[in-house]
Amino acid sequence: MKTTIAQVGRYVNEQVTIGAWIANKRSSGKIAFLQLRDGTGFIQGVVVKAEVPEDVFALAKSITQESSLYVTGTVREDERSPSGYELSVEQIELIHQATDYPITPKQHGTEFLMDHRHLWLRSKRQHAIMKIRSQIIRSTYDFFSERGFTKLDSPILTGSSPEGTSELFHTKYFDEDAYLSQSGQLYAEAGAMALGRVFTFGPTFRAEKSKTRRHLIEFWMIEPEMAFVEHEESLEIQEQYVAHLAKAVLDHCQLELKQLGRDVTKLEAIKAPFPRITYDEALDLLKEKGFDDILWGDDFGSPHETAIAEHFDKPVFITRYPRSLKPFYMQPAPERDDVVLCADLIAPEGYGEIIGGSERIHDYDLLKQELEKHNLPLDAYGWYLDLRKYGSVPHSGFGLGLERTVAWLSGTEHVRETIPFPRLLNRLYP
Ligand code: 4AD
Ligand code: MG
């Protein structure tokens, strides 16, 4: 029976054939242990000299790391194995012999591994992270589809810059100037006026000269946008969504979390509601914690976010930031117009801001005024202003950074390991 490593549990004590690669190998004169991987998982194949034809044992002993093969054997239950199974190998058919695979079981430096990202992806650790990433994407579609959201695809090539003009990737669009999308939000707002509740999911680009564990040049963002939804209701949807993701990873990625050594008790605590503090309260908290020189109107950096997050065992919303710190489209608070109806969601354990969101300005005149104040070209935003001209309604939305969320839930220190081929400052290869 041809099957996969993930499915072997269905064939206990039966003979199966699996297409696989050699992840690692150990052998003595009488027995060889093949660490097999097939993309769906990892399993140990045991080849006993006395039980197989001579050529099979010889092949098992000489086979090199990352060689590909069809391996046939009997599935055995095995309590010591993380997956619960082992394969008693009976036959091996070599497909391709790999020579001098560069990533050996010894330790390698990060730059070396990054240069070999196309191969590094095959490791157990990267496999686990990619599985968790995929689960988060799948659970995102489930969450929003179950709540009546429509998936809306926003363009990558745009003429607008929702998150400020300093971090744009410029390109030519024939004779016009164009930019790579920083965010699908503005298009999602048009979508919300057509479909009520939408979410976009796609790559976004920031020409940011930041070299930190939280920054990528190209990252993927999930951006829900909701008509007739005000700030508070948006926060409720955000906390339910994030709690849903934490639960999905706990429910479906146990092997992967174990492989990564993730402390799952931390994830089990991630249940809605999440605490909310205003920017002003966050400032007081920071002063209590010894950040003496921070002033009202200053943005929070990583050390500030981490200090605030340490105060809570769940993600925390920081709401009502100074208007001067945030983009042009945010709705001023009703009680005072120097702060906006926005929130950043800060993940625990130092993983930083995973969501930025707000209620949007829905008054035509105010939005026009803000565009002008930010020196944004009105002609490029004509269509966006139109949304306030024809049946404008209160609406809110947010953007969740996929890689930071994967980093947090999987317990991965740096976002470079949470995307298949990271685009970083000074790295476009592979
Ligand atoms: O806070 P940001 O810039 O918000 C927006 O783009 C809004 N238009 C979203 C919206 O309301 N629809 O980015 C949102 C999230 C951040 O919280 C962070 O998780 C992630 O995107 N992010 C990055 N992730 C990796 N590398 C970067 N350089 C990132 N910049 C933002
Ligand atoms: Mg932000």
Identify the CATH number of the domain in which residue 53 sits: 2.40.50.140
pLDDT bucket at 160, cuts 50 / 70 / 90: confident
What is the position in ligand 1's atom list of the atom closest to the CA of 404?
A: 19
| Residue range(s) defining the domain that contains residue 70 | 5-96
Residue 144 has pLDDT above 90, yes or no: yes
DSSP state, residue 245: H
pLDDT band, residue 161 (cuts 50/70/90):
confident
User: Are residues 290 and 205 part of one domain?
Assistant: yes
- 144 lies in the same domain as 293: yes
Instruction: State how far the alpha carbon of 122 is from the alpha carbons of 21, 83, 130, 381, in Å.
Output: 10, 18, 10, 45
pLDDT at 159: 87
In this structure, what token pair is assigned to residue 319? 């709401």
Query: Which-ligand-closest: CA of 358?
Result: 1
Ligand found nearest the CA of 360 = 1
Q: Is residue 278 part of a domain?
A: yes
Does residue 156 sit in the same domain as residue 300? yes
Q: Which protein residues have a CB closer than 5 Å to ligand 2 (ion)?
A: 356
pLDDT above 90: residue 368: yes
Ligand nearest to C-alpha 353: 1
Q: What is the pLDDT of residues 198-237, one digit of tens each?
A: 999 999 999 999 999 999 999 999 999 999 999 999 999 9
Assess contact for 187 and 154: CB atoms under 8 A.
Answer: yes
Give the atom of ligand 1 at the shortest distance from the alpha carbon of 217: 28
Look at residue 45 in the predicted model and tell me its pLDDT.
98
pTM: 0.98
Examine the fold and report which residue of 96, 128, 152 is the final residue of a domain before the chain moves on: 96
Decide if 109 is inside a domain: no
Q: What's the CA gap between 36 and 44, in Å, rounded?
A: 6
Q: 202 CA to middle of ligand 1, Å?
A: 12
Query: Which residue's alpha carbon is nearest to atom 31 within ligand 1?
Result: 401
Average pLDDT, the chain: 97
Residue 107 covered by a domain: no
Which amino acid residue places its CA nearest to atom 23 of ligand 1? Answer: 401
- Least Cα distance to 226 among 185, 202, 198, 186 occurs for 198
**What total number of domains does the chain contain?**
2
Same domain membership, residue 26 and residue 72: yes
Calpha distance 168→245 (Å, rounded): 30
Q: Are residues 223 and 162 in the same domain?
A: yes
346 and 226, same structural domain? yes
Residues with CB under 6 A from ligand 1: 162-163, 183, 185, 206, 208, 215-216, 219, 221, 223, 353-357, 397-399, 401, 403-404, 415
Give the pLDDT of residue 163. Answer: 82
State which ligand 1 atom lies nearest to the alpha carbon of 221. Answer: 21
Q: How far is the CA of 13 from the centre of ligand 2 (A)?
A: 54
Same domain, residue pair 192 and 329:
yes
% the chain with pLDDT above 70 = 100
Q: Are residues 10 and 134 in the same domain?
A: no
Residue 280 belongs to domain with CATH number: 3.30.930.10
Provide mean pLDDT across the span 148-152: 98
pLDDT in tens, 264-312: 999 999 999 999 999 999 999 999 999 999 999 999 999 999 999 999 9
The most distant pair of C-alpha atoms in the chain lies apart, rounded to whole Å, by 85
Ligand 1 atom closest to 415 (CA): 25
| Same structural domain, 211 and 355 | yes
Query: Residue 165 — pLDDT band, cuts 50, 70, 90?
Result: confident
